[in-house]
Amino acid sequence: MSARPLYERVVHRLEELIRTEELRPGDRLMTERELATKLGVSRTSIRQALTALRVRGIVEVRHGDGIYLVQESSDLVGTLAEGLIASHAHLPAINEVREAVEPRAARLAARRRTGEDLAAMRAALDSMREEIAKGEPGLRGDSAFHHALIAAAHNEVLSAMYEHLAPGLSQSSQASLVRPAQPERSLREHEQVLETIERADEEGAELAMRLHVRDFSDLEMVDHD
């Protein structure tokens, strides 16, 4: 099993590209198509990676204008966070934070989501369906959906905190999605969350996400019993 979803590897390569080309805040990056060609990945992977960088405040996507560097990437805080949550012993604590944060993020997403946000969440679920159809657990689509949802909340502090928890969240997802029938169940729960966000149903979105996160947490508790 890959230790990191594809989009996370693309994020790392984009950060390397930014450093290699010595881009500065305010500089414009290549287009999605050009980046996909240069890195040899799909435009969907590029969009997912750009969403993660936008969440972290590294880039800004200006419709009809382009992708701009907002601030230079620094991995220091992320490295410290990764070290803290590297072991599975921290997963129960991470799930507690997840249960506190993600339902609220879903409520905010239902209130603030844009057409671009909805498109990103739909694309993530399409990716997850394709992975499951191939007999895979759907980790890449799962991760992309949660990141797109957090981005749709449009809260920079929440986004930055969530991004630094990403390695631990990936571990939590892996522990759950490798179980029989769990990928399909998780996909259905994601679809329910997205439906409430599309309807701008704040209360429904918060409840649907709370039930989804508790499902993950309950499975994690079984693993630790």
- The per-residue pLDDT for range 132-191, each reduced to its tens digit, is 999 988 888 998 899 899 999 998 888 877 777 776 666 666 666 767 788 899 999 999
At 75 the pLDDT is 46
Domain coordinates in residue numbering, the chain: 6-69, 76-224
Q: How many CB atoms lie within 10 A of CB 54?
A: 19
Helix/strand/coil (H/E/C) assignment for every residue in 59-104: EEEECCCEEEECCCCCCHHHHHHHHHCCCHHHHHHHHHHHHHHHHH
Tokens for 190, please give them. 């994601």
Cα dist. 5→2, 160, 169 in Å?
Answer: 7, 19, 12
- The per-residue pLDDT for range 25-82, each reduced to its tens digit, is 889 999 999 999 999 988 888 888 887 787 667 888 888 888 999 865 554 344 444 4
Is 76-224 the same fold as 6-69? no
Topology of domain 76-224 in CATH is Four Helix Bundle (Hemerythrin (Met), subunit A) (1.20.120)
pTM of the model: 0.63
At 2 the pLDDT is 47
Tokens 């809260």 map to which residue? 155
CA 108, 112, 117, 121: dihedral to nearest 10 degrees?
30
Matching CATH number, 6-69, of 3.30.1360.10, 1.10.10.10, 2.60.40.1120, 1.10.287.70:
1.10.10.10
Chain centroid to CA 98: how far?
Answer: 13
Residue 93's pLDDT band (cuts 50, 70, 90): confident
**66 φ, ψ (degrees, to nearest 5):** 145, -170
**Residues 155, 214: Cα–Cα separation, whole Å:** 23
**Residues 67, 61: Cα–Cα separation, whole Å:** 5
